[in-house]
């Protein structure tokens, strides 16, 4: 059973809701945690206690959801606030994770399942820049195609990105659950998904 979220909502929730309505997106201040928990455990990130301020829209032939993970007990404030992007899309069929940088939400404990092995994809620019986790180097290279790797590097991406069958989870480090940050993420993710789909 999912924990009960704290009340009132996190600061900034009203602004996120207003942004979502202006954009014509679906907005749930206290979304169904079960939907997000089905994506857990993450390979490179800590699983949160709850999720807030989910904003969703169609990214044909799939959907995209932005949400704030609450990375603290539900009755206290987290050390930091961030946003996660969930993309449901049939183009994703592999499983791998990558991390660039060290962040407060990086997973450091693996109590139930060991982490996937750290591997390389055979691209020196990527392998010297990102830590990649996958069952094998070939799985990682297929999960992170060259076009997607090049786009992420051109952005100077920092954070976490996890590919799994049916979807993608992205954490842009340094971006918070604020309308201006959600706007930046919304503008970026469509291009990123297109690069993944192009192979």
Q: Provide the residue-wise pLDDT of the chain in tens; the chain has 199 residues.
A: 444 444 578 999 999 999 999 999 999 999 999 999 999 999 999 999 999 999 999 998 999 999 999 988 887 888 889 999 999 999 999 999 999 998 887 876 666 777 899 999 999 999 999 999 999 999 999 999 999 999 999 999 999 999 999 999 999 999 999 999 999 999 999 999 999 998 7
Whether 196 contacts 91, CB under 8 Å: yes
Taking the domains of the chain in order of start, what are their residue ranges? 13-198
- Of 172, 168, 161, which Cα lies nearest the Cα of 68? 172
Question: What is the Cα Rg of the chain in Å?
Answer: 16
Token digits of residue 12: 């900034």
Name residue, tokens 């990123």.
192
Q: What is the pLDDT of residue 115?
A: 81
Q: What is the DSSP letter of 106?
A: B
The H helix count followed by the E strand count for the chain is: 6, 9
Q: Are 129 and 57 spatial neighbours (Cβ–Cβ below 8 Å)?
A: no
Compute CA distances 131 → 34, 42, 116, 125, 193, whole Å: 29, 15, 11, 12, 20
User: How far apart, in whole angstroms, are the C-alpha atoms of residue 68 and residue 161?
Assistant: 16
pLDDT value at residue 199: 76
Asked if 172 and 161 touch (Cβ cutoff 8 Å), the reply is: no
Going by C-alpha positions, the residue among 142, 195, 192 that lies closest to residue 171 is 192
What is the model's pLDDT at position 7? Answer: 57
């Amino acid at each position: 059973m999912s924990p009960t979220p704290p009340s009132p909502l996190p600061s900034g929730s009203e602004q996120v809701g207003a942004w979502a309505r202006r954009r014509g997106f679906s907005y749930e201040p206290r979304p169904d945690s079960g939907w997000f928990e089905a994506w857990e455990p993450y390979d490179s990130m800590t699983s949160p206690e709850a999720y807030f301020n989910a904003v969703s829209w169609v990214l044909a032939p799939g959907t995209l959801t932005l949400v704030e993970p609450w990375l603290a007990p539900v009755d206290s404030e987290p050390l930091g606030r961030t946003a996660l992007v969930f993309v449901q899309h049939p183009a994703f069929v592999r499983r791998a994770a990558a991390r660039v940088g060290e962040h407060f939400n990086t997973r450091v404990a693996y109590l139930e399942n060991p982490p996937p092995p750290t591997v390389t994809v055979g691209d020196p620019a990527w392998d010297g820049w990102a830590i990649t986790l996958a069952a094998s180097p070939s799985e990682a290279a297929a999960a992170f195609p060259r076009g997607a790797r090049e786009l992420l590097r051109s952005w100077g991406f920092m954070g976490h990105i996890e590919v799994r069958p049916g979807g993608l989870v992205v954490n842009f480090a340094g971006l918070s659950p604020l309308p201006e940050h959600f706007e930046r993420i919304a503008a970026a993710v469509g291009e990123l998904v297109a690069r993944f789909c192009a192979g």
